[in-house]
């Protein structure tokens, strides 16, 4: 990792959902002024390979520079997998642990202006970068509506309910959030299925929309292809960031 890497200390870890945790880091004093836009990510050093090189893993930032538990803070949402150096590192991480990272970086950010509505499509932890993006959108003077479509497997994967409810209340009718479960349990009375048809169903009611897709690579490919087939301009109206396949 280059000498220009930034440094931070883990201050808090809290469970969010099944195998999903939120990690909060306080930046070192010399890095406290670090700035980024919603949608950008950092590359975290989570160990060393057999040849001595750093093992890096990238994570989107779930907060804005002015937000978080303290000035100069980073928030990450991490899905722990059964095996792998990153999951092993996060599983063992405890408050007080030090980290090194590069960034923030990346181009999955909001357009500087939108002509109409904004649709955010996420699966799993792909919702993390959308929280700071929603905050940025709500601060703008744009008149377009904001729709978040979030696909999860079942209720055990659901998190950030209070955070999203707070944003819906603050948006005064401008923001809608739809969470859909692909494998809901018995007695579930909410929206079922994948987000793909929900996105397509929105199209007739949208005005000059821009789509932001984040999460499962298969979802992104399917939604993007379906939108293009329905007349959406791929280059001008669709932005995407794949987390995994």
Q: What is the pLDDT of residues 144-163, one digit of tens each?
A: 999 999 999 999 999 999 99
* pLDDT tens-digit readout, 56-87: 999 999 999 865 555 689 999 999 998 888 99
Mean pLDDT of 218-232: 96
Residue 54's pLDDT band (boundaries 50, 70, 90)?
confident
CA distances from 57 to 69, 70, 151, 215 (A): 23, 24, 24, 16
Residues 76 and 154: their CA atoms lie apart, in Å, by 22
Residue 48: the pLDDT is: 85
Helices and strands of the chain, counted as H and E runs: 6, 12
Look up tokens 């509505």; give the residue: 117
Pairing of strands 191-192, 210-216: unpaired
Residue 67: the pLDDT is: 55
Residue 69: the pLDDT is: 57
Structure tokens at 59: 């994570």
Residue 152: the pLDDT is: 95
Contact (CB, 8 A) for 122 and 149? yes
Mean pLDDT of 124-149: 94
Domain identity same for 82 and 157: no
Domain identity same for 124 and 198: yes
* pLDDT tens-digit readout, 177-211: 999 999 988 888 889 999 999 999 999 999 999 99
End of a domain among 79, 105, 131?
105
In a domain, 163, yes or no: yes
Residue 244: the pLDDT is: 63
Residue 167: the pLDDT is: 96
In a domain, 112, yes or no: no
Domain identity same for 191 and 228: yes
Residues 211 and 170: their CA atoms lie apart, in Å, by 22
Domain identity same for 235 and 156: yes
pLDDT above 90 for 21: yes
Average pLDDT, rounded, for the chain: 91
In a domain, 111, yes or no: no
User: What is the separation of C-alpha 94 from the centre of its chain, rounded to a whole number of angstroms?
Assistant: 23
Contact (CB, 8 A) for 40 and 64? no
Domain identity same for 65 and 150: no
Domain identity same for 158 and 43: no
Domain identity same for 125 and 17: no
pLDDT above 90 for 30: no
Nearest to 114 by CA among 149, 148, 142: 142
């Amino acid at each position: 990792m280059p000498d220009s890497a930034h440094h931070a200390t883990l201050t808090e870890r809290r469970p969010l959902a099944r195998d999903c945790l939120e990690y909060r880091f306080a930046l070192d004093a010399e890095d406290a002024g670090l700035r980024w836009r919603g949608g950008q990510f950092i590359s975290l050093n989570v160990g060393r390979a057999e040849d001595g090189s750093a093992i890096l893993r990238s994570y989107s930032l779930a907060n804005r520079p002015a937000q978080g538990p303290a000035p100069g803070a980073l928030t990450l949402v991490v899905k722990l997998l059964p095996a792998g150096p990153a999951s092993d590192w996060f599983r063992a991480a405890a408050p007080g642990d030090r980290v090194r990272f590069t960034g923030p970086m990346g181009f999955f950010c909001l357009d500087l202006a939108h002509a109409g509505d904004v649709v955010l499509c996420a699966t799993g932890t792909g919702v993390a970068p959308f929280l700071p993006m929603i905050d940025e959108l709500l601060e703008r003077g744009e008149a377009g509506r904001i729709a978040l479509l979030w696909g999860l497997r079942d209720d055990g994967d659901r998190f950030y309910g209070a955070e999203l409810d707070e944003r819906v209340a603050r948006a005064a009718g401008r923001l809608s959030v739809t969470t859909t479960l692909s494998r809901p349990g018995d007695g579930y009375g909410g929206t079922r299925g994948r987000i793909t048809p929900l996105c397509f169903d929105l199209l007739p009611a949208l005005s000059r929309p821009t789509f932001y897709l984040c999460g499962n690579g298969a979802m992104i490919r399917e939604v993007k292809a379906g939108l293009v087939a329905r007349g959406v301009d791929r280059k001008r109206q669709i932005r995407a960031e794949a987390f995994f396949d």
